[in-house]
Amino acid sequence: MAKFAFGEEKLTIIDAKGYQIDLSMQEAVSLLYWLSDQKAALFHRSRHEVEPEKQPEKHFQQLEAFQVEYKIHPLLEDDNSFAQG
């Protein structure tokens, strides 16, 4: 399961293997809105139906409560994938 650390200026997500990603607050809010848009599909998979909510504060609470698992695209795991020069 992923762990979430909420800081003053960033959200840090750490997966079970220790991979870490830091998101700015804007990126974290964008992620929460995306997750909210995907909420029906996520709950359908777990056989629960809940109406999507549009309040960002609740999204942060839900994200922390659900301990959302995610997979990193293989290209993002390679440190040299996006190297310049």
> Could you tell me if residue 62 is inside a domain?
yes
Q: Provide the 8-state DSSP code for 42.
A: H
With respect to residue 64, please indicate whether it lies within any of the assigned structural domains. Answer: yes
What radius of gyration do the chain's Cα atoms show?
A: 14
What pLDDT is recorded for position 35?
A: 84
Distance between CA atoms of residues 68 and 21, nearest Å = 14
- Phi and psi at residue 67, to the nearest 5°: 50, 60
| Distance of alpha carbon 62 from alpha carbon 66, whole angstroms | 6
Domain that holds residue 60: 3-73
Does 84 reside within a domain?
no
Closest CA to 11 of 77, 84, 70: 70
pLDDT in tens, the chain (85 residues): 789 898 888 999 998 888 999 999 889 888 888 888 888 777 777 766 445 556 667 777 777 766 656 666 676 666 665 666 5
What is the total count of domains within the chain?
Answer: 1
Q: Does 44 reside within a domain?
A: yes
Q: What is the reported pLDDT for 52?
A: 54
